[in-house]
Amino acid sequence: MHANLIAGDWVAGTDASPNINPSDTRDVVGLYAHANRAQAEDAVAAAHAAQPRWAAFTPQQRADALDRVGSEIIARQAELADLLAREEGKALPDARGEVLRAGHIFKFFAGEALRVGGELLASTRPGMSVEITREPVGVVGIITPWNFPLAIPAWKIAPALACGNAVVFKPAELVPACAWALAEMLSRAGLPPGTFNLVMGRGREVGQVLLDDPRVHAITFTGSEATGRKVAQAAVSRPGAMPKFQLEMGGKNPLVVLDDADLDVAVECAINGAFYATGQRCTASSRLIVTDGIHDRFVAAMTARMAALTVGDARATGTVIGPVVDATQLAQDMAYIALGRSEGGHLAFGGEAMAELSGQPGFYLQPTLFTHTLNHMRINREEIFGPVACVIRVGDANEALAVANDTPYGLSAGVVTTSLREATRFKRELQAGMVMVNAPTAGVDAHAPFGGRKASSFGPREQGRYAAEFFTTVKTSYVQA
């Protein structure tokens, strides 16, 4: 049994759930405790008590602790990637990349701990100086989804700690193993007990405590739009001080392919963006907006390339696309595939789930491509979160831009073109937090700001130096000489 980490102690839960391998549902990764409400409250109390001690550590001490975690993650890359692939179903090469990224994030924020600074302004009043400093926000509640079991926790936990905050971390129910491994490393990193707490369990129970408890000063959330809105509602309904909150939610990211695109680049961007990580990325390209002159060649090349993508056990050599994460997500993907057909989309490739592969029962789904779709169809409006992409044919670049922006979301958007003029125009005009030119919509650098516009995000950007906006609070001091 893997326990919760509360106030520096490993605490058994009131119940536990088995962690199932989606590549082989007979394989149980382990048993992971569920915290109850009282235990989650204990974790908040512990964080509240520990935070001033952690904030009083020198920046170098905080940097050293985070750097140790980063080094250990990188040293254990193969083992952690295997665990990640086993519990989440991400193909091993992608899982290895995610582990490395998590390690690099801890190392980046180790450096940031030393760079928390301020500003000195000249005052409009004689003899006065204006100092702008950054202080920790206090206790940060971290609620994460299952699709990046190490990287998303890393990019919230590392900056929170670097800035001197204490943390209560509630991972997604489906991926407790990576969360537990990270917590175990943090438990040995030299933080005062209670600075970092892990509470596993259900969102409505354990997550809700983080939303309601007045000792939690900030909540950073990544997950579905529906839950994100609940987080926001809970935050603004809290009596007294409202917590700071930051939300990363859905996407319906367009990849525009223009007539002058290099076809190979376009196909690689689309294959990677739509299907890698089984399409389970909020930055996945689910809308492929293709102009008339290249449309037929693009669709032919896509389907040929898709036929060569190996679907299989996430940990098997040669697998490019692992299984869908669980039965519920697979049912959602299949419902959208049925909907796409009934809305008039033409199923150009895939669409079949496989209950078994090489004798292993798992949640396998072929990469799926719809053509002849229109932007107003529900399959082009709603986030599917699976290996399903839709081609939308358009007349020219102007129409492509209009269709790309005609969506409630605005996380990532891409364009494939050899024209500098078009690349520049799309980079300026695409209404998204991240724009990719001749690159997949998914796949970002660990030190650059991450986040979206419209219904995709709320609050300051995550990652890189921009993370400090959320994890610190600004103080302006006026000093008369």
Contact with ligand ADP (CB under 6 A): which of 116, 168, 211, 442? Answer: 211
Phi, psi of 135, deg, nearest 5: -120, 160
Give the nearest distance from C-beta 28 to ligand ADP in angstroms. 20
Least distance CB 469 / ligand ADP (angstroms): 22
Judged by CB under 6 A, does residue 204 bind ligand ADP? Answer: yes
Say whether residue 146 binds ligand ADP (CB under 6 A): yes
User: Nearest distance from residue 463's CB to ligand ADP, in Å?
Assistant: 19
89 binds ligand ADP (CB under 6 A): no
Residue with tokens 């364009």: 415
Using the minimum distance from each CB to ligand ADP, give the nearer residue, 239 or 359.
239
Judged by beta carbon, residue 72 or residue 383, the one nearer ligand ADP is: 383
List the one residue from 143, 258, 302, 411 that touches ligand ADP (CB under 6 A).
143
Q: How far apart are CA 285 and CA 140, in angstroms?
A: 31
- CB 329 to ligand ADP: min, Å: 8
Which residue, 187 or 332, has its beta carbon nearer to ligand ADP?
332
Contact region with ligand ADP (CB under 6 A), list: 219-227, 258-266, 289-297, 451-459: 219-227
Q: To the nearest whole angstrom, how small is the minimum distance from the Cβ of residue 143 to ligand ADP? A: 5
Q: Exactly one of 178, 269, 282, 390 is catalytic; which is it? A: 282
Residue 204 or 428: which CB sits closer to ligand ADP?
204
Least distance from C-beta 264 to ligand ADP, angstroms? 33
456 lies in the binding site for ligand ADP (CB under 6 A): no
Phi/psi class of residue 13: alpha, beta or left (left: φ > 0; alpha: ψ in -120 to 50)? Answer: beta
Question: Which residues in 226-245 contact ligand ADP (CB under 6 A)?
Answer: 227, 230
By beta-carbon proximity to ligand ADP, the closer residue of 17 and 224 is: 224
Query: Which tokens in the block code for residue 328?
Result: 């519920």
Q: What is the 3-state secondary structure (H, E, C) of 316-331?
A: CCCCCECCCCCHHHHH
In the window 391-430, what residues touch ligand ADP (CB under 6 A)? none
The reply on whether position 172 binds ligand ADP by CB under 6 A is: yes
Nearer to ligand ADP among residue 108 and residue 180 (C-beta): 180
Site membership for ligand ADP, residue 4 (CB under 6 A): no
Whether residue 248 lies in the annotated active site: yes
Which residue of 203, 273, 367, 433 would you call a contact of ligand ADP, by CB under 6 A? 203
HSE value, Cβ hemisphere, 13 Å, CA-based, for 201: 26
Q: Choose between 24 and 248: whose C-beta lies nearer to ligand ADP.
A: 248
Q: Are 185 and 192 in contact (CB under 8 A)?
A: no
* 224 contributes a contact to ligand ADP by CB under 6 A: yes
72 is catalytic: no
Angle at CA of residue 465, ends 449 and 273, nearest 5°: 20
Report, in Å, the least distance between residue 229 CB and ligand ADP. 10
Q: Shortest gap between Cβ of 245 and ligand ADP (angstroms)?
A: 11
54/450 with CB nearer ligand ADP:
450
Stretch that binds ligand ADP, among 6-14, 118-126, 142-150, 310-318 (CB under 6 A): 142-150
Establish if 208 lies at the interface with ligand ADP (CB under 6 A): yes
Of the candidates 98, 248, 422, 469, the residue annotated as catalytic is: 248
Residues in touch with ligand ADP (CB under 6 A): 143-146, 170, 172-173, 203-204, 207-208, 211, 223-224, 227, 230
Q: Which residues participate in catalysis according to the annotation?
A: 248, 282
